[in-house]
Amino acid sequence: MLPTMRCPQRVLGELTADPQAAVWRDLPSQPLRAVLDGTMPAQLTGVKSAWNAHEWRVLFEVADTHVWATLTERGALLYQEEVVEVFVDPVGDLECYFEIEVNPLNAVLEVVQRRNRSGYAKDFAWRCEGLRTAVKRTDAGWCAELAIPFHSLVATPPNPGTRWRANFCRIDRPPGVERELSAWSPPGRGSFHTPERFGWVEFVSQSDPHP
């Protein structure tokens, strides 16, 4: 069964990557799990999301005993190091999806994946217009917050009840051991690029009793 994340409409406040900010404080965190078998990874990651009329916010809370990254340029191949990633298909037909990555140095990579005869083709020229990100180091590791403008993804913003296909992922590369891949909706194989395994993000109103 594919997971569903209920994403409440809220007053979002400043972009701080702070889990104690008012927008995040009372929202439950949803765990990322090992991509192959859905077990809990050695280093945990939680994800939350919220929205307003203009943008979608995503917060990652990353436990990491050895936070590292070297890449600082926008568009660099961040997945070669440690990174968190958002995958989203607003249309839901799995013909095309967006991928946005953030690393511990607050560098960003944006990609559009479009289906072709052999699978999916990567378009590295795409830029998520108006994207804002923030990263914060913590005692336990690091946090990343993304503010993704709806106009950069769709012509019409979502309404309460709108559902998007999405996944939230992490590449962890601890020293001396194999990399660890984890995902909110585990794909069952060693690749995040399995859109048929994307879960659902459901945009709900601020007054919804079950955020």
pLDDT of residue 23: 96
pLDDT band for 211, please (50, 70, 90 cuts): very low
pLDDT band for 210, please (50, 70, 90 cuts): low
Please determine, for residue 135, whether its predicted confidence score (pLDDT) is greater than 70: yes
Q: Which helix (H) or strand (E) holds 30?
A: strand 30-31
DSSP 34-61: ETTT-PPPSS-EEEEEEE-SSEEEEEEE
**What are residue 96's DSSP bridge partners?**
114
Q: Which helix (H) or strand (E) holds 169?
A: strand 163-172
- 65 class by beta-carbon count within 10 Å (0-12 exposed, 13-18 middle, 19+ buried): exposed
pLDDT band for 206, please (50, 70, 90 cuts): confident
User: 3-class SS at 196?
Assistant: helix
DSSP class of 28 = P
pLDDT band for 209, please (50, 70, 90 cuts): very low
Mean pLDDT score of the chain: 95
pLDDT digits (tens, 9 = 90+) for 37-75: 999 999 999 999 999 999 999 999 999 999 999 999 999
DSSP 82-120: SEEEEEEESS-SSSEEEEEEE-TT--EEEEEEEEETTEE
Give ∠ CA 95-53-106 in degrees, rounded to 5.
70
Residue 27: C-alpha distances to residues 36, 59, 108, 178 (Å): 27, 11, 25, 32
How much is the pTM? Answer: 0.95
pLDDT digits (tens, 9 = 90+) for 89-103: 999 999 999 999 999
pLDDT of residue 118: 78
